[in-house]
Structure 1
């Protein structure tokens, strides 16, 4: 009876570990770069989206990835090849969500396409701040982005830290708002103040995980000026 009880405890413990959150901060850049070199990716685009009441089209860009993993077969090394496409998205009047590697912008009166960025990153969502546009005629997109392999597994995916970015309506001045190596916790627009507020969490105890002992940081950005700097404030 004691044997079965111990076996039950072991199974429960193993299951709990298997279901843990992989969103961690791990410093292992050498291992990360080695894994990324074994992948080959090609850009593919979806059909353009018109942002209502503006003069711009949005072209979502994703990756077709060929992943190569080492495998043993009759004592010789070979490569096992898998492929996947990341242009899977949904869009509404103001928001585009999915798994994008870039976005290209096109004015309705031009055939020229402008890339949002030349960096390797994953865009989970982009939101047009329509209320801000109506108030002061300044157009912005806010982005939920994964820009670093923070858990050092060789991939940029939902297990890595999320960051907040912003750009102008035409894709210019794309920049990061939240600090490096901090997880974006929440953000919102206060239209009456014309400010973007957000908070992030820092792994302040340096244990590689986020928990209640870690520190929350609070910030705001003035949307009246497209060159304004992020300001940290201290409500507690």
Structure 2
């Protein structure tokens, strides 16, 4: 029984090593087209849903990919779960002209996207907002869920794809100020510089006005936050004999 367990353990280790090596070869080695085709054959390209925009004249097709051998891709325990993004690109299709366009040529993890906004300004009316990341922030030569997501925007043709929130901060949430082109969003800043985003880091609120083409500004800058913290210290942490 002991020898069987050792054999099974060895096979599991070898299997993991083979899968890891395969990913490494795909990322780092120069392959000819025949080799590339043989690897791509193991993957299923999924155009998971259709999103109509601009009075149904334009369509977004999100692209995700699944390794055909990895049936547990959507399981949290999957070997590949951390590597696969929700979507790795989007196709924009113009029904009138028949033209298609990829959102970006850069490797990007797209967590989610939103369009067809109601009660917004003229810019956001013709825009798509994304929660996405394209930066290997912790420098591990991978693009995974531990790297930060930021707020991105493009027009409804998929052009002018650009980042709105700081590259070294992880987007938590955003809200559009009603009937405007202003967005309030919150991020987690890597304030201790350890290349991770956790409860020890600062949560920062920003406001960006797309109509002015200016960068996002902190609603509470460092000076104001320090003022609030000192007020709390005086009111709640310092002994007050008056009660």
TM-score > 0.5 by shorter chain: yes
1:137-168 CA deviation, whole Å, 9 max, x = no partner?
A: 73111101132333455543323322111111
1:160-192 CA deviation, whole Å, 9 max, x = no partner?
A: 322111111111111011212211122111114
Structure 2 gap ranges (5+): 1-22, 30-35, 75-84, 226-243
Structure 1: distance between partners of 2:181 and 2:203:
23
Higher strand fraction (1 or 2): 1
Q: Summarize the Cα distance change of 1:163–1:85 in structure 2 as closer, same or farther, 3 Å threshold.
A: farther
1:27-57 CA deviation, whole Å, 9 max, x = no partner?
A: xxxxx98883379656835164323734211
Aligned match of 1:170: 157
Aligned match of 1:118: 105
Of residues 128, 145, 153, the one that matches 2:132 is 145
Aligned match of 1:184: 171
TM norm structure 2:
0.59
Structure 2: distance between partners of 1:63 and 1:37:
20
Q: Summarize the Cα distance change of 1:37–1:132 in structure 2 as closer, same or farther, 3 Å threshold.
A: farther
Aligned match of 1:44: 45
Alignment of structure 1 residues 1-236 onto 2, 5 Å: 36-37=27-28, 44-46=45-47, 48-51=50-53, 53-65=55-67, 83=70, 99-132=86-119, 135-136=121-122, 138-152=125-139, 154-224=141-211, 228-235=213-220, 236=225
Structure 1: distance between partners of 2:170 and 2:207:
16
Retained in 2: the 8 A contact 1:124–1:143?
yes
Q: Summarize the Cα distance change of 1:183–1:58 in structure 2 as closer, same or farther, 3 Å threshold.
A: same
Shift of 1:216: 3.4
Structure 2: distance between partners of 1:54 and 1:222:
28
Retained in 1: the 8 A contact 2:53–2:116?
no
Retained in 1: the 8 A contact 2:57–2:94?
yes
- SS of the aligned residue for 1:144 comes to strand
Shift of 1:211: 4.3
Structure 1: distance between partners of 2:138 and 2:188:
16
Structure 1 gap ranges (5+): 1-31, 67-81, 88-97
Aligned match of 1:28: none
Q: CA RMSD in A?
A: 3.5
Give the structure, 1 or 2, with the largest relative contact order (CA under 8 Å, sep 6 or more).
1
